[in-house]
Chain A
Amino acid sequence: MNKVFLIIQREYLSRVKKKSFLIMTFLVPSLFIAMIFFVGYLTKKGDDSKKEFKVCDQSGIFKNQLSNSSTLNFTYLDGNYDQAKKDIRKEKNAYLLYIPSDYAQSGNTEIISEKKPGFAVVDDIETQMENILRNKKLIAAGIDTAILNNSKAKVSINAKQLTDEGEKDASIGATFIVGFVSAFLIYLSLFIYGAQVMRGVIEEKTNRIIEVIVSSVKPFQLMLGKILGIGAVGLTQFLLWIILSTSLSTLAAGYFSKDDGVKAKIEQVGKTTQGQEMTKAASSNNKVQDFLQAADTINFPYIISTFFFYFLGGYLLYSALFAAVGSAVDNETETQQFMLPITLPLIFTFILGMNVIV
């Protein structure tokens, strides 16, 4: 047992002392945070640019029907299509929405512009046009306009979980994200640390030190020590990542909370929702509010402990398989053919995990 401990100690220290370990430990959370900021920045920036749509409607169905939003502004042209097409090239950030006269029959429309319109924009316009057409058809079929306006229903399911302490918000969105991120982290780390075990085995073989070691300890002790040692490296790295990410994001949160206006707005929105006043603007902000509330209800100690439990279980299984691959080959290039039998079940369980989470 003492010898296993010695091996664990060597495997652990020789890896933790490496510069690459330190770099990874600090780089990953920084990259993670930077990525979040970057995505946030891009989304924010994308929202700002307002898109000008000139509607050339030869069918006459959609005139003054399309509604403006924070990102879309519709103006209606009377001129002919060819003239409009020429004009649109002179303007930046302007789009020509062309609806031919036989639109009702063919169902074809065109957006003509210098820049490509985004997917979300096209989707938004399509939905609006579909709604307008449907309403028109319903009215033509003899349905009262008043009934039609009342029939717009908004449903929001609030999932509650029954526990010993009573009802709790099930916070579906937040659990999905936490589940996905955890599953992905386990999947990734099994590969990273499993491959490290494999490389360790190959290294000892190519260095020829294996004969010296195996004449001192049992091969089983060597494998156990190696797997546990590298597993401990993985756990250390995760712990450092959690600590670093938490402190970094606390700092980031501190920075954001200075922006009192946003905070006040969110609180304000929260109050209005309690007053049962459902406005469109409120409902979109409401999601953020919901998510923040949901994140609060997640039992993080429980999540983290189950994460470590499953990481360890998966790691012990897969690192042993990786070690087997390492012992079967003489150098790393030969490992590829043996990797598939290991990779397949790993990917399969990952997909299975996604189904469970969703």
Chain B
Amino acid sequence: MLKVSHIVKEYAKHRALDDVSLEVETGTIFGLLGPNGAGKTSLIRIINQITGPDEGEVFFDGEKLNQNHINKIGYLPEERGLYKQMEIGEQMLYLAQLKGLSRVEAAKRIKFWFEKMGMQDWWKKKVEDLSKGMQQKVQFVATVFHEPELIILDEPFSGFDPVNAEIIKDEILELNKKGSTIIFSTHRMESVELLCNHIALLNKSHKILDGSVKSIKNAYRNNTFYLETTRAFDIANVKTFELLNSAKSDEGEKIKIKLKDGFSTNDVLSELIPLTGINYLEEVIPTMNEIFIEKVKQLN
């Protein structure tokens, strides 16, 4: 769907993107993650043809990126903005027509979305009369009403209360089911790791990691488990794992363990069953945050 190859983007004294390549497949929800200033927005602006790369190329459906692709992309910028003095309805019609819809078609779709999001009576209102959350909703509709093949959302949940964030999340998932490919860009990695199939991690202008969420998490598993037992046992004598840390609770002992080389969870269970009762044994799966921090540590 989208292929970014060896992009370099330089500003006056600063290299914002350094040889970044990535590929987004059709139908995926792709997370573009990284801390502030990593180059996420620079990359998104290049994909949206707001700026051009200094080196490298972007391909959309195998074609080199050009003006015809503009109508196939919906973009929600991080810095939200609308014309303050214009009526919402007029404004939406204008933006929809700029995306290539006819006036009649645009009016139909805007009405559909307004009904869906419960904003029917906003048509004659002005942006300055709306709350920030309401403006965000309007802007979200303006991003998706032309049913783009690729939807790019820069920090989509900032400024939403939990209820509205949930509504937007559901809408995004529904759009994805209907066939839209979605790129999330955020520095709050925990907010999207459950949504995304694929991610790319950017740090200091470089891509440091990409792949499917599953494979990345698998790669960062390190045989660590949480174990809770009904009563204490002598850890010094067990052969299959070592203790990382422990905490006492009323029901028993909750500990974090690491398997020794050559042993599986089955070996742990068979060793423990004669010694104590087992409440649960659960693998510790690293969060994106942890993976990111570890990756950055490795690079340094």
A192-219 toward B: CB 8 Å interface, digit per residue (1/0)? Answer: 0000000000000001111111111110
In the assembly, what is the distance between CA of A213 and CA of B79, in Å? 13
Q: Is the CB of B81 within 8 A of A211?
A: yes
Q: Is the CB of A207 within 8 A of B82?
A: yes
A85 sits at the interface (CB 8 A): no
B142 sits at the interface (CB 8 A): yes
Q: Which of A3, A14, A207, A214 is in CB contact (< 8 Å) with B50?
A: A214
Q: Is the CB of B50 within 8 A of A211?
A: yes
B300 sits at the interface (CB 8 A): no
Q: Is the CB of B98 within 8 A of A14?
A: no
A239 sits at the interface (CB 8 A): no
In the assembly, what is the distance between CA of A212 and CA of B94, in Å? 12
Given A14-B85, A14-B86, decide whether A213 and B67 contact each other with a Cβ distance below 8 A: no
Q: Which of B73, B82, B97 is in CB contact (< 8 Å) with A209?
A: B82
Q: Which of A14, A216, A218 is in CB contact (< 8 Å) with B95?
A: A216
B83 sits at the interface (CB 8 A): yes
Nearest Cβ in chain A — how far from B154, in angstroms? 9
Look across to chain A and name the residue whose beta carbon is closest to the beta carbon of B74: A215
Q: Is the CB of B83 within 8 A of A207?
A: yes
Nearest Cβ in chain B — how far from A217, in angstroms? 6
Look across to chain B and name the residue whose beta carbon is closest to the beta carbon of A13: B90
Listed residue (B70, B73, B80, B94) with the most chain A CB atoms within 10 angstroms of its CB: B94
Q: Is the CB of B75 within 8 A of A215?
A: yes
B265 sits at the interface (CB 8 A): no
**In the complex, chain B residues whose CB is within 8 Å of the CB of A213:** 95, 98
In the assembly, what is the distance between CA of A215 and CA of B86, in Å? 20
**In the complex, chain A residues whose CB is within 8 Å of the CB of B84:** 207
In the assembly, what is the distance between CA of A216 and CA of B158, in Å? 23
Q: Is the CB of A215 within 8 A of B94?
A: no
Q: Is the CB of B80 within 8 A of A3?
A: no
B77 sits at the interface (CB 8 A): yes
In the assembly, what is the distance between CA of A209 and CA of B80, in Å? 7
A6 sits at the interface (CB 8 A): yes
**In the complex, chain A residues whose CB is within 8 Å of the CB of B73:** 215
In the assembly, what is the distance between CA of A218 and CA of B80, in Å? 19
**CB-defined A-B contacts under 8 Å, sample of 29:** A3-B98, A6-B97, A7-B98, A10-B94, A14-B83, A14-B85, A14-B86, A207-B81, A207-B82, A207-B83, A207-B84, A208-B79, A208-B81, A210-B81, A211-B50, A211-B81, A212-B75, A212-B81, A212-B95, A212-B139, A214-B50, A215-B48, A215-B50, A215-B73, A216-B95, A216-B98, A217-B70, A217-B98, A218-B67
Q: Give 6 nearest A-B pairs by CB, closest first.
A: A208-B81, A209-B81, A216-B98, A211-B77, A208-B79, A215-B48
Other than the given A207-B81, A216-B98, 15 more pairs (CB < 8 A) read: A6-B94, A7-B98, A207-B83, A208-B80, A210-B81, A211-B75, A211-B77, A212-B75, A212-B139, A213-B98, A215-B48, A215-B70, A215-B75, A216-B95, A217-B98
Q: Which residues of A contact B (CB under 8 A)?
A: 3, 6-7, 10, 14, 207-218
